[in-house]
Amino acid sequence: MITRILTARTWIKNPASRPRPTGFSIIELLGVLAIIGLIAALVIPRLGSLGQADLRSSGRRIQGMVQLTFNLAVMEKADYRLVFDLDSQCVWAEKNISGAYQTSTLDLLSRYCLPDQVYIRELEVLDRKLVQTGTEYIYFGMDGFVEPARIFIGNESDDGFTLFTDPITGRIKVYDGRVEYSKR
Reported as a single tens digit per residue, the pLDDT across 18-47 is 566 677 788 888 888 888 888 877 776 655
The SS3 call for residue 146 is strand
Residue 11 has pLDDT above 60, yes or no: no
pLDDT band per the 50, 70, 90 thresholds, residue 183: low
Q: Judge whether 173 and 163 are in contact, CB under 8 Å.
A: yes
**Paired residues of 162 in beta bridges:** 152, 175
- Residues 55, 122: Cα–Cα separation, whole Å: 15
* CA nearest to 154, candidates 177, 173, 131: 177
CATH class label, 27-183: alpha beta
Going by their DSSP bridges, the two strands 172-176 and 112-113 should be labelled as unpaired
Going by their DSSP bridges, the two strands 100-103 and 112-113 should be labelled as unpaired
Own/partner long-range contacts of 22-30 (Cβ < 8 Å, ≥24 apart): none
* CA nearest to 140, candidates 56, 43, 41, 72: 72
Taking the model in full, what pTM does it have?
0.71
